Amino acid sequence: MDIKALLAKMTLEEKASLCSGMDSWHTQAIERLGIPSIMVADGPHGLRKELPLENPNDPVNTLEAVCFPTGGTIACSFDRDQMRAMGKALAASCKAEGVSVLLGPAANIKRSPLCGRNFEYLSEDPYLTGELAAEYISAVESEGVGTSLKHFAANNQETRRMTVSAEIDPRTFREIYLAGFETAVKKGKPSTLMCSYNKINGTYSSENHHLLTEILRDEWGFDGLVMSDWGAVNLRPKGVQAGLDLEMPTSYGQNDAEIVKAVRSGQLDEKYVDLAAERVLRLVYDLLPSPEETAVFHREQQHQLAGELAKESLVLLKNQDNILPLNPSQSIAFIGKFAESPRYQGGGSSHINSFKVTGALQAAREICQIQYAQGYQTEADETDEALLQEAIRTAQQADVAVLFVGLPDAFESESYDRTHMSMPQCQNRLIQEVCKVQSNVVIVLHNGAPVEMPWEPSVKGILEAYLGGQAVGQAEAELLFGLANPCGRLAETIPLQLSHNPSFLNFPGEGDRVEYKEGIFVGYRYYDKKELPVRYPFGFGLSYTTFEYSNLSLDKTQMKDTDTLKVTVQVKNTGSRAGKEVVQLYTSSLPGHQKKAIRPVQELKGFQKIHLEPGEEKTVTFLLDKRSFAYYDPQLADWNVETGTYQIRVGKSSRELLLFQNVEITSSPRPADPLTMESTVGDFVEHPQVKQLLLQAFAQAEPGKTFEELSAMLSSSYVLQTPIHTLCNFDSHITLDLLRQLVEKANTLL
């Protein structure tokens, strides 16, 4: 299709009409020119395709589909292959149903455990987020289905999300909240991005030229389409000029008319409308379903895949006295409504109409006899005494009690945030009462985000199931009974209590303004820097086998920041069971020389999941580039590596690093910061040529002092911290004119 020729035939009104949806889920068609429309549908962990309502009173009008583990769950797999498998399956379901663009993945950072949409988001860490999102995107796109990476950017809360302004400094924005998107764009190459509702530093994302054009397109090379989140448009002409191509859903022609009006009045150059219309047309013709192509939605096969993905993602947090795996010959009690009817997905636009659901009770009864008690209701946080007493009796009569607890639907969802990190008190009481009569208690958690665990010291086992998709019960049963070996790792830190979270004092902000005062210290970056104890650290997860790390090796110990560092480490399964290990690599900028930038203690820069049979050993290889050691320097408006010593740390989690090796890195020459009258003496003397110039100037002003005396003066900590302009207050021979001349000459040497 010759898009340019097609555009030339269109009227301004027709081009403007392409800049908004035809309805809630389709792009605009233009019959006069034979331009078709394509369909988009919600994701990201299942196909949520809306159907025509046959019964206006029917609350469910979406296609029966398969709900895979949510983003926050599958990120705990730390497995690129699992992300690709899910992406391929989602693409197949989209093709079978004529959906051209799947709205996902969601790559926003988990700033606070209270965000109501955390279950959709992948991680608190931008490196893990970007790597996994890129795999998802490339898998879906490889099948001819588009993706929409969302929500660009800084949609880290639901409270007043359509009006709040996220106040973020440039370094934090780049290192934490944009880095995952950057990786996903560059590696995954999504067809579209979806802008967020919120403002960023006072400007709506939908009108943010710096975000949508300067960063996304000019810097990152994105050549696709930017669409709005549903209703995330303020001033439509301003959005077109900023780089927002497609408004969703339809505005019933009203914003199209605003675009035309702005062009006619000279407020908007028509070239921006042409550009937006061209991007829409390219998307339509690139992703238009082929009438010859047929695809089948294999729901049963995808259900089995959903269970496999869950098995790779669930995290064993505690296994005291090796209470797990369970022995089928034991008397086992399952307690809790979630054992029979699991909470396996969150609420809002990602809610899937699952065609079937497998609970742990159903799956476990295919393994052995299980006694069951409901234990609690989910409709209200009130203890049902009859259910509680039944649960206590059931637990008392068993060898082991497995309690399935967590957050009911009403506790977390899109459109509102949590106000606390507690589970329902009726469930906490249930756990406490069962622990009084049963010493062998295992907890299985169903929750989209971390919860406080006041009962943790009293129980022997904890399996974090998060929101594991419609086959989560099958995965839980296989892990509990040892038919599979747990291999999930936490993609976020679980703090001891909410007040320890770095955003605690500034979430969700005041009115329509939220300040990200914690800066780059999000998640483990904060807890490590503060040396705070946590309930469970980032990257943590137990296994039924053991692993040994050895022979960490670097292919060089000195390098330039433009070089690539090859890191290898050997990992051996020293236990009696086959299992998978997540090998994690962190980099650390060591102290010991003057640092311009405050850095985290360490940052994740590599991970690989490997399968090992008992006694098997493998060599794991990582390649680290400049970004593995860099921070974002706002003055340079670029990524920078300071010359110095960096440490490679490899291990099992952010708090269990086992092997360490240092590498010396020399930074590429960079423009020096200009010196001014406000610069300190220390700023001058850190440049050898400038230091000599300073000494010469002082020698002329103070002919009675020796060179050694002047050098000693310049080494004084007091003098080093003194602004140059202040020196005239201490010696009448040092004039302001002399200092101004010195500054001018010094800058010519930088």
Looking at per-residue pLDDT, the higher value among 51 and 187 belongs to: 187
Q: Prior bond to 249 cis, omega within 30?
A: yes
Packing angle of the helix pair 126-141, 80-96 (nearest 10 deg): 40
Q: Is the pLDDT of residue 308 over 70?
A: yes
Residue 546: CA atoms inside 13 Å, Cβ hemisphere, count? 5
Looking at per-residue pLDDT, the higher value among 745 and 750 belongs to: 745
What type of residue sits at position 678? E
248 contacts: CB under 8 Å, gap ≥ 6: 20, 21, 24, 40, 227, 228, 229, 230
How many CB atoms neighbour CB 638 within 10 A? 12
Catalytic residue among 42, 229, 417, 528: 229
573 contacts: CB under 8 Å, gap ≥ 6: 545, 546, 547, 579, 581, 612, 613, 614, 615, 616, 617
Q: Which residues pair with 102 in a beta bridge?
A: 41, 147
Q: Is the pLDDT of residue 482 over 90?
A: yes
| Coil, helix or strand at residue 639 | strand
| pLDDT at residue 593 in the model | 56
Residue with tokens 């993602």: 313
Nearest-CA neighbor of 73 among 496, 362, 492?
492
- Dihedral over Cα of 43, 47, 52, 58: its sign: negative
Q: Is the pLDDT of residue 594 over 60?
A: no
2 contacts: CB under 8 Å, gap ≥ 6: none
CATH number of 547-666: 2.60.40.10
| pLDDT at residue 57 in the model | 63
Q: Is the pLDDT of residue 292 over 90?
A: no
| pLDDT at residue 694 in the model | 84
96 contacts: CB under 8 Å, gap ≥ 6: 295, 296, 297
Distance CA 140, CA 120 (A): 17
DSSP for 391-443, written as a single string: HHHHHHTSSEEEEEEE--GGGSBTTB--S--PPPHHHHHHHHHHHHH-S-EEE
Q: 678, 739 in Cβ contact below 8 A? A: no
Report the predicted TM-score, pTM, of the whole model to 2 decimal places. Answer: 0.96
Nearest-CA neighbor of 340 among 486, 451, 461, 472?
472
For the segment 369-387, the average pLDDT, to the nearest whole number, is 97
What type of residue sits at position 522? V
**Averaged confidence pLDDT in the chain:** 95
- Tokens representing 27 are 């792009």
Q: Where are the alpha helices (DSSP H) in 583-654?
A: none
pLDDT tens column, 501-523: 999 999 999 999 999 999 999 99
What type of residue sits at position 418? R
pLDDT tens column, 117-174: 999 999 999 999 999 999 999 999 999 999 999 999 999 999 999 999 999 999 999 9
Q: Is the pLDDT of residue 56 over 70?
A: no
Q: 441, 287 in Cβ contact below 8 A? A: no
Nearest-CA neighbor of 492 among 118, 152, 81, 156?
118
Q: 542, 487 in Cβ contact below 8 A? A: no
Nearest-CA neighbor of 363 among 372, 354, 374, 355?
372
Q: How confident is the model at residue 687 (pLDDT cuts 50, 70, 90)?
A: confident
| pLDDT at residue 729 in the model | 84
Q: 503, 518 in Cβ contact below 8 A? A: yes
Packing angle of the helix pair 707-715, 688-701 (nearest 10 deg): 120
Distance CA 220, CA 261 (A): 32
Looking at per-residue pLDDT, the higher value among 401 and 669 belongs to: 401
Distance CA 473, CA 360 (A): 4
Nearest-CA neighbor of 240 among 261, 220, 221, 219?
261
Q: 335, 430 in Cβ contact below 8 A? A: yes
Largest CA distance in the chain: 99
Looking at the domain 315-485, which fold is it?
Answer: Rossmann fold (3.40.50)
| Coil, helix or strand at residue 241 | helix
What type of residue sits at position 379? E
pLDDT tens column, 329-371: 999 999 999 999 999 999 999 999 999 999 999 999 999 999 9
Q: 272, 212 in Cβ contact below 8 A? A: no
Nearest-CA neighbor of 516 among 170, 233, 193, 218?
170
| pLDDT at residue 733 in the model | 77
Q: How confident is the model at residue 55 (pLDDT cuts 50, 70, 90)?
A: low
- Cα–chain-centroid distance for residue 346? 17
- Tokens representing 62 are 């979406």
Least confident of 258-262, 470-474, 537-541, 667-671: 667-671
Q: 106, 71 in Cβ contact below 8 A? A: yes
What are the domain boundaries of the chain? 315-485, 547-666, 681-749
Q: Is the pLDDT of residue 18 over 70?
A: yes
88 contacts: CB under 8 Å, gap ≥ 6: 139, 140, 142, 143
Q: Please say if 409 is a catalytic residue.
A: no
- Dihedral over Cα of 417, 120, 144, 52: its sign: negative
For the segment 404-426, the average pLDDT, to the nearest whole number, is 97
Q: Where are the alpha helices (DSSP H) in 314-424?
A: 337-340, 360-364, 385-396
How many CB atoms neighbour CB 380 within 10 A? 12
Residue with tokens 């699952």: 354
By CB neighbour count within 10 A (0-12 exposed, 13-18 middle, 19+ buried), where does 547 fall?
A: buried
Distance CA 483, CA 580 (A): 14
Distance CA 283, CA 23 (A): 17
- Tokens representing 655 are 């708090």
